[in-house]
Structures are given as C-alpha cells and as structure tokens.
Structure 1
Amino acid sequence: MESSRLFELNGKMPPLKNAIPIAAQHLVTMIVGCVTPAIIISSVAGLDEKMSIVLIQSSLVLAAISTLLQLFGVTKFCGARLPVIIGVSFAYLSVMIEISTAFGLEYVFGAQLVGGIVAILFGIASKKLNKFFPPLITGTVVFTIGLSLYPTAIIYMAGGSGNPNFGSLTNWGIAIFTLIIVTALNHYGKGMFKLASILIGIICGYIVSLFFGLVDFSAISRSEIIAPLRVVPFGIKFEISSIITMSILFVINSVQAIGDFNATTMGGLDREPTSDEIRGGIIGFGVSNVLSSLFGGLPNATYSQNVGIVSTTKVVNKRVLSLCGIFLLVAGLIPKFSAFLTTIPQCVLGGATVSVFASIAMTGMKLVATEDMNYRNTSIVGLSATLGMGINLLTYSHGQAHGNLAMVTKVAPQRASYTVSGPRDPSGLAL
C-alpha cells in the first residue's frame, strides 16, 4: 500500500492526502514557539515595525532551511538524515535579552556565529565523546526534556501566562475538549484519523474557539504579502562575555540534540542513532546556526514536541517531514500565512500537545530501563533529573520575567503591525 511509505525513513513520497495532514500537524505544533522568541527580542531590542518583521520572517526561513539540512544532509558529514524538525530555541531567550540590552542585537548574532562554530567542533569530536553518553545518560536527558515541557503545556491549557483570562473555564474547557479528541483518536482512530490525531484535535479546538471569540484575525490583515530574505540585516559584532555564555548554551543544546536523536530513533525506528547520525546531526546544528546568524535568524535547535509526534505516529518518512520545512519556508516568505498560523489559541495548542510531551518522557524512561537500575544508576538518573528540572525552571522563570517586562515596557505603536493572538510563551521549549 502507498500509505505504508509513511513508515519508511527513505521511502518515496506517499500520497499527498496522507502526507499533508502529518506535515501540517508538525507545523502547527511548533509554529508559535518558532515565532515567539523573535517577537520578544524585537521588542526588547527596540526594533521598528519593518525590522521586527524581518527578524520574525528570517527566523522562520532559517528554521525551514535548518530542517531540510537535517533531513537530507549536505555531504556525508553534515545533517543527521533523521526525521527531526528544527526551530528557534527558547533556551537562549534570557541570554539574548541580556546581550541585546547591554550591547545590542548585533552582538547576539556575533555570539551565535561563534556558538555555531563551537557546536561544529563538538560534533566533529562526538565519536570520541559517545562513550560519555550511554543509554542511561541519553535516556535521562530525553526524560528530563519531556518533564520540562509539562509546565509549558499546562500553562498553555490555562490560556498562557499574561492572558487576562488565564485559568478561565473557557480556556480549560477548550483545552480538555482538544485533549479528549486527540486521545480518543490516538486510541480508537483508524488510518489517517489516528496518524493525524493532533491536527484534527487542533482543528476541532480551533473551531470551538471561534465561537468563544478567542481567535484574532487582525494580524493577518496587517501583515505583508511577500518578505524576501536579507543578508546580515542586523549586523554582526563580537563581545567576549556574550560569546562565552552563548557557546556554553550551544554545547548544552548539542547534548539535548543527542537526546532528541535518541528519542526519535527509539520512538520511531526502534533503534539507537548511529555515531554518524549523531555526528552529522550536531555538525548540521552548528552549520545551521552559523547560517542563521548571517541571515538574521535567531538560534535554533531540535524541537522535542515534534520528536514526540514522530514517536506517537511512527511516521518517519523524511519526505513527509520535508513538507513541514516547505510550509515553514512559505510562512517565512509570505507573512500572511504565518500570521494565520499564529492565530491558534494557546489553550488549543496546550490541549493538543500535552500527550506529545508525555510520550517524550516515556521514551526517555524506556531508554533508562535498558540499563540495570542499581543504586548507582538510580542516583545518577534521580540527581540528573532533579538538577536538570530545577535549572530549567529557574532559567524559564528568569526568561519569563524579562520577557513579560519587555512586553509591558517596550510595546510601541509599531508592535501592532505583527501580533500573536494569546500570550508570548513558547510552544517549543527546548532545554
């Protein structure tokens, strides 16, 4: 059957009626998280209307290019060639805010350029470092990634922080309705109803949201039709403390990428990633961030919630996921399209993705369970998860504090030209 191609890593493109719903649910799951950091940084950096849109669109276009690079690779050394989606990472937000405030946005891109080179070097040495990342370690990383996403999903279900109706019965009701649709289709659906359960849940939740007035279409009418990519639109400058801080974050995200590659192959392919896939993936991660810094795109990373979709649906065909990259490219070049995608209420996204985040954590637990859980190993897992979650929550809270302050103090008339319905939380929180 042609639909069986969905489950073949290097299979031919299946019929579009099967491929497009899968690609679309990958897109809607990550699009808001890809756009949000750019909106916050443009506000903090005091960009005018025109340059704010440039930052948002550049980030989307580079996310598309980075996704395609990871899916298909460039030379045998660059790209994981695994079914992963790449987008702007929220992990860098608090650091980018500090750098933008203290020095300027151009220093963010300078630090990103060097950080990308550091990631490339890390990837080159990854084969020698593999012994430091057995299933116990990578499983703990994947497990912690899943846990770290739970607060984001619950906050979204309540409407998103900063929402004046946060925690309202309307938000919770629509979120739970969406979750029920997704869960029911996952367990009892057949064929495409099961594979596209997240997309169907989002569509159902979106329709209900329309009746409650939670969807704002004003951003569509105010956005441009075409926005071409620019070379070094914000400039690039270097400052040592910014470079050191960002480089450390790039190393951390390289380790997170190893966890996501493990979660992808274990969840979708029932195997661990090869050393060549890990090396190519990390090198590709570094290369894509070097390119992003040159074209005005914010730092990117693997998106864990999309890894969860792969694990849930078992759809690993790279050509199917490449459609998501193409949609991202279109969204970046045609702002009206991306503006439409960002009208999805946060409560709908929360209800649709909470089960995805759960599957990520469970994939990590499966990896950990392959090791003998003696006292030493349980101590490693327990302490690592505790420290990882604690630091993540501290960083997230710090970033939220700065982000919310920026939204309150920096909002000017030009911000009205491109807005996102709902709060400014990430839908794609990466460690």
Structure 2
Amino acid sequence: MGKKNQNDHELIYQLDGKPSFGVAFPLGLQHVLAMFTGNLAPVLILIGVLKLPQDQSLRMIQCAMFVSGLTTFVQLYPIKIGKFQIGAGLPIVMGTSFAFVPTAKNIGLQYGLAGVLGGALLGSLVEVVMGFFYKPLKKFFPPLVVGAVLITIGIHLLKVGVDYFAGGVGSSDYGSPKNLFLGFLVFAVIMSLQRFGKGMWKISAILIGLIVGYLVAIPLGKVDFSHITEAGWLALPVPLVMPWEFEFHLEAILSFAAIYIVSGLETIGNTSGITIAGFNREATGEETSGGILADALGSTTATLFNALPNTAFGQNAGIVSMTKVVNKWCIAMGAFVLMGAALFPKIGAIFNAMPSSVLGGAVITVFAMILINGIKMIAKAGFSERNVIILGVTFGIGLGLGGDPNVTAQLPGFISFIFKDTVACVCIVSIIANLIFPPSKEDKELAKAAMLEEEIKEEKALVLE
C-alpha cells in the first residue's frame, strides 16, 4: 500500500484531516444517496397536499436541498459565539424532517403555506431554549414521552403513505391497478435490496427503488415530462422570494413547538450514537448543545428559504456507526453535492414529476419504521405499572380525543387546535402525565435494565451485519 493510500485509510477514521478527493467523494456521496429521498419526500408530500403551482414547488425542492447542505456544514464546522457554539463539530448530516409532516399538513389545510412557515419559524425558538438549557430540561422528555410521540407520528404518516401508494388524494385514478402495481413494485425492490443487498446497494435501496418505479411508470403514461423541459438549467436558491407572507397563529406555533421538542431529542440521540460508535465515548455537553442549536438554526433558515424544518438524519448516523468513517471532510463532500444539486432546477423538476404511487411505495416503509422506533424507545423505558398508566393516559386522551376534533371543537381556540393536531396533543399530554406520575426507584432500575438489554441486542445486530 502506497504512503498516500495509507494516509487516506487512516484519515477517514479520524475526525479532522483531508483525505484525497478520490477517497472522500465516494464516502460523502453514499451519505447523500442514503438521505436524498428522505430529504425531499416531506416537501413533495406538502406540495401535493397544498396543490402548489409548479414554479413554487420547484423552488421549495431546490431550497430544501440547499439548506440541508448548508446546515450540515454548520454541524461539521461550528460557529463560535462566546462560550457557546452552533454545531456539534461531528459528522452529522441534516435534512428535512418527516416528524413535521402531519402538523404541517393540518396547519397548511387551515392557514396555507404562510401559516406553516410562520408557525415553524417561531416554534423553532423552543429548540433554541433546549440547546442552551438541555441538561436541566432533559428530564421532562424521557424515552417514554418521545416514544409515544414517534408512534403517533408513524400512525399519521402511514395514512399519508397509503394515500400516496394509491395515487394521491383527489387523483382521478385513486387505487387503480396501475398505481397499486407501481407502489408494490417499488416496495418489492426496496425490501429485496434491504434483505439481500450489500454495501452501496443496501444503503441506496430507497433511491434505487424509486428509479426503478420511475422508469416503469414512463411507458405506463404516469410521468408528465412537460414540467421538466420547462424548468431552467441554473438558478440560485434565494430566501424570501416566493409570493407568500408569513402568518403567525398561536395554535400553529404551539403545535410546531411540540414537534421541535421531539426533533431536538432525536438530535441528542443521533449525536450520542455517533460519538459512542465512532469515538467510544459519550457526547460532550458542548457537542450536544451545539447539535441542538444547529438543528434550530437549520430549521429557522429552512423556513426563511420557504422550506420545511431540518433535523439530524438517523440513517446517516447509522452509516457512521456501521462504517466507523467519522472524517468531517468526507461528510463535507456530501454537503457540497447537496448544495450543488440545489443550483439546478431540473433536478427538482424530475423529482416533482415522480408519480405519487412511486413515492408511496418508498415512504410507506420509512413511515412504518418511525412507528417501530417509537415502540423501541418505549421498550427501553420498560413496562412498569407507572409507565403503563402514563401510556394509557397519553394514548387515551392524546390519541383518542385528539383523533376526533369534533369532540373538542367548543373549547377555546388554541386548545381546540392542539386537539386537532394529534401529534402535538400526544406530546403535551405525555409530558404532563410524566410529571404527575414521577418515576419511583424501581421504575428507574427497570428502565436501566431494559436499556441495557436493548443495547446488547443492538450490539449483537451490528456484529452480525
């Protein structure tokens, strides 16, 4: 092995340093392939729900890619402000969060995109507070709370995924054999690659499934190429250039604020996961605080660019855990690709022309995994009598009453709206129930035992991989 190749091989397992382009670029590209679809799918879903015009849709897609790359750079190379830093200084990849889709959908249908952007903008202040004071606040958001919220998000998103699988709500051929065939085809390709694929084939399973479904949809007459040909070749993503004024509604802000809590906790988990897997240590207070603040900054920036909030992507943290490649320069190559793709509207037009059933075949499994991750988090907390009571209250009030907005329609405005947004309602009810029923010594011991058992299982799974 030559000296240069040996240095590159050593550098990719170190946080700092610059491996050669030939080594760094492919390693960065695999991160883009793993998250590219997940980054754009929430935007595509909201575009479909709100039925936005073609030019506005393309700009949203373009800005989502740009902000994702920009915020990833902030996570890699933090901004120092006094004794605080914005960014973890770790190999964290940022992207548009699925967690906000149900809330964005509900608010968008009532107040339009202006209400979505306004609520997301001011709601992000909650994550700023979490970033500065995450240690004393962390006790209010144990795995039981986060798990319940993730389950609720997964349940709501599955309904969205099913609608896309069938061709999209309001489509003239909803549930047609063509749509179902395309959905099942994409689903089968992804599952096959996840089961039998290795390396890049497995990591890029969702992207490959979408490509196969897209190509098959062309001869079936499901792809409209006119918007692709009309889209420009080059355009800069510029903030606040769309014909929307931000609208600020208290109920929308509160709903988004509740989801930002979950987003911040996911970032904490991904930050710790990366440091444990890559450096065999817990994340420092500065890294965790910086990661949350970068999450908040990325979300604020995304709304200013007329896109949806950002969060740390778990699948990319998983890649770091599996490969042990922690070099920031390698991840930066992927961020360059994302920002470069944002300069070409035709890329956005290609994704925007994707048939709903093709997208549905891909995201339905992603949404199911969100639900399963929620169940895993609750399992880590254990099923003590106290925890079962909290879950009963959370799902009975939050998911039960929150699932039927007519029941609470006569309550004061902002309370009524929170019950309309089931995800926010579950989050708030779960936090309150967790405070009313504090954990006993036995509960804490059961939670520790359950978490230890889960960690052992995860380590065994990684060894088998």
Alpha carbons 1:174, 1:347 under 8 Å: kept:
yes
What's the C-alpha RMSD, in Å, of the aligned pairs?
A: 4.1
1:287 and 2:297 correspond: yes
Name the aligned partner's letter for residue 348 of structure 1. Answer: V
TM-aligned CA distance change 1:40 to 1:71, over 3 Å: farther
1:157 and 2:194 correspond: no
1:255 Cα offset (Å): 1.2
TM-aligned CA distance change 1:351 to 1:93, over 3 Å: closer
Name the aligned partner's letter for residue 151 of structure 1. Answer: K
Which of 92, 104, 107 pairs up with 1:92? 104
1:339 Cα offset (Å): 0.8
Q: Following superposition of structure 1 onto structure 2, how do residues 290-301 of structure 1 map, counting pairs within 5 Å?
A: 290-293=300-303, 295-301=304-310
- Deviations along 1:183-238, one digit per CA (max 9) or x if unpaired, are 12212222222222222222222222222122222111111222224454369988
TM-aligned CA distance change 1:150 to 1:292, over 3 Å: closer
Q: Matches of 2:10 and 2:369 in 1, distance apart? A: 23
Aligned twin of 1:134: 142
1:224 and 2:232 correspond: yes
Name the aligned partner's letter for residue 314 of structure 2. Answer: V
Alpha carbons 1:109, 1:296 under 8 Å: kept:
no
Q: Secondary structure at the residue paired with 1:20?
A: helix
Alpha carbons 1:65, 1:325 under 8 Å: kept:
yes
Q: Matches of 1:38 and 1:63 in 2, distance apart? A: 18
Q: Matches of 1:393 and 1:4 in 2, distance apart? A: 53
- Deviations along 1:139-191, one digit per CA (max 9) or x if unpaired, are 33333333332222222221221222211112212221222221122122222
1:170 and 2:178 correspond: yes
Which of 21, 26, 29 pairs up with 1:20? 29
Alpha carbons 2:32, 2:338 under 8 Å: kept:
no
Q: Following superposition of structure 1 onto structure 2, how do residues 184-199 of structure 1 map, counting pairs within 5 Å?
A: 184-199=192-207
- Percent sequence identity is 26
- Deviations along 1:10-54, one digit per CA (max 9) or x if unpaired, are 8977564565354224112332422554687695xxx9x877765
Q: Matches of 2:334 and 2:387 in 1, distance apart? A: 39
1:393 Cα offset (Å): 6.2
1:389 Cα offset (Å): 4.8
TM-aligned CA distance change 1:69 to 1:54, over 3 Å: same
Aligned twin of 1:69: 74
Count how many residue pairs are aligned between Structure 1 and Structure 2. 383
Q: Following superposition of structure 1 onto structure 2, how do residues 196-345 of structure 1 map, counting pairs within 5 Å?
A: 196-230=204-238, 232-233=240-241, 242=248, 244-261=250-267, 264=270, 276-293=286-303, 295-302=304-311, 307=314, 311=318, 314=322, 322=332, 325-345=335-355
Q: Matches of 2:14 and 2:362 in 1, distance apart? A: 25
Q: Matches of 2:268 and 2:119 in 1, distance apart? A: 28
1:379 and 2:389 correspond: yes
Name the aligned partner's letter for residue 144 of structure 2. Answer: L
Q: Matches of 1:52 and 1:219 in 2, distance apart? A: 11
Q: Matches of 2:196 and 2:14 in 1, distance apart? A: 23
When normalised by structure 2's length, the TM-score is 0.67
Name the aligned partner's letter for residue 185 of structure 1. Answer: L
Name the aligned partner's letter for residue 180 of structure 1. Answer: A
Q: Secondary structure at the residue paired with 2:96?
A: strand
Q: Secondary structure at the residue paired with 2:198?
A: coil
Q: Matches of 1:23 and 1:189 in 2, distance apart? A: 18
Structure 2 residue ranges without an equivalent (≥5) = 1-5, 406-426, 428-465
TM-aligned CA distance change 1:357 to 1:108, over 3 Å: closer
1:370 and 2:380 correspond: yes
1:257 Cα offset (Å): 0.7
Higher relative contact order (CA closer than 8 Å, sequence separation 6+): 1
Alpha carbons 1:160, 1:346 under 8 Å: kept:
yes
Q: Matches of 2:360 and 2:284 in 1, distance apart? A: 33
TM-aligned CA distance change 1:42 to 1:78, over 3 Å: farther
Q: Secondary structure at the residue paired with 1:77?
A: strand
TM-aligned CA distance change 1:158 to 1:209, over 3 Å: same
Alpha carbons 1:258, 1:278 under 8 Å: kept:
no
1:145 and 2:153 correspond: yes
Q: Matches of 1:182 and 1:11 in 2, distance apart? A: 35
Name the aligned partner's letter for residue 219 of structure 2. Answer: F
1:83 and 2:88 correspond: no
TM-aligned CA distance change 1:325 to 1:170, over 3 Å: farther
Q: Matches of 2:348 and 2:403 in 1, distance apart? A: 29
Q: Secondary structure at the residue paired with 1:211?
A: coil
Q: Matches of 1:185 and 1:54 in 2, distance apart? A: 32
Q: Secondary structure at the residue paired with 1:163?
A: coil
1:181 and 2:189 correspond: yes
Aligned twin of 2:451: none
Name the aligned partner's letter for residue 249 of structure 1. Answer: S
Q: Matches of 2:356 and 2:17 in 1, distance apart? A: 34
Structure 1 residue ranges without an equivalent (≥5) = 396-430
Name the aligned partner's letter for residue 255 of structure 2. Answer: L
Name the aligned partner's letter for residue 254 of structure 1. Answer: Y
1:273 Cα offset (Å): 6.6
Q: Matches of 2:401 and 2:284 in 1, distance apart? A: 30
Q: Which moved more, 1:318-327 or 1:180-189?
A: 318-327
Alpha carbons 1:254, 1:282 under 8 Å: kept:
no
Name the aligned partner's letter for residue 235 of structure 2. Answer: A
1:129 Cα offset (Å): 0.5
1:130 Cα offset (Å): 0.7
